[in-house]
Amino acid sequence: MIDKAILRKIEHTAIIAEDGLIVGLIGGVVLFSVIQIVMRLFFNSGFIWADELIKMFVLWATLVASISASRENKHLKIDLISNLIAPQYSMLLQAFNALITSGICIIIAWHAFRFVGLTFDFDEKVLIDIPAWIAYSIIPIAFLLMSFRYLIACIKHLSRYNKPLR
């Protein structure tokens, strides 16, 4: 059995990393946007890479926030049925939803991984001279982590489903 304390520590570190990354990325978007405005207004110029960097930051922030949202199951969904049925069955339904989502995420992660591999082979560049695979690597990582989170959620829901029966 893996030590629970270690697992909890990993979870805790992951949460701090996610939050820190979100703050850093949004802060970066603000910072570089303002720098671009100042450059445009006062020096009539700007950095060619800044706009692309801002857009890349928004993409990263979106994906990191998605990982974060999967932690609390905060993703947008239409939820008509779970309020109408008994809580016990609702648990089962949520476990099912989490399992499906986890499966879909792992498929996307796999194809994203293949895609990143391709950009690595072709030596593609973004932001003038940065290897593209670094910028794109967030996609397989994000979907892999989401898949993992939903798998955990599925197991949690199932374990809760069993409890009231005992």
Cα separation of 119 and 52, whole Å? 18
Determine the angle formed by the axes of helices 138-162 and 87-121, rounding to 10 degrees: 160
Cβ proximity to other proteins: between 1 and 99 the closer is 99
Q: At closest approach, how far in Å is the CB of 112 from other proteins?
A: 5
Q: At closest approach, how far in Å is the CB of 148 from other proteins?
A: 14
Q: At closest approach, how far in Å is the CB of 3 from other proteins?
A: 28
Cβ proximity to other proteins: between 36 and 88 the closer is 36
Q: Which of 8, 111, 155, 162 binds other proteins (CB under 8 A)?
A: 111
Cα separation of 29 and 14, whole Å? 22
Q: Which of 14, 22, 130, 152 binds other proteins (CB under 8 A)?
A: 22
Cβ proximity to other proteins: between 61 and 161 the closer is 61
Q: Which of 108, 130, 151, 158 binds other proteins (CB under 8 A)?
A: 108
Per CB under 8 A, 88 contacts other proteins = no
Site for other proteins in 39-78 (CB under 8 A): 52, 54-59, 61-66, 68-69, 72-78
Per CB under 8 A, 14 contacts other proteins = no
DSSP the chain: ---HHHHHHHHHHHHHHHHHHHHHHHHHHHHHHHHHHHHHHHHS---HHHHHHHHHHHHHHHHHHHHHHHHTT-S----SSTTTS-HHHHHHHHHHHHHHHHHHHHHHHHHHHHHHHHHHHTT-EETTTEEHHHHHTHHHHHHHHHHHHHHHHHHHHHHHHHGGG-
Q: Compute the residue count for the chain.
A: 166
Q: Which positions touch other proteins (CB under 8 A)?
A: 18-20, 22-23, 26, 29-30, 33-34, 36-37, 52, 54-59, 61-66, 68-69, 72-83, 93-94, 96-97, 100-101, 104-105, 107-108, 111-112, 114-115, 118, 136, 139
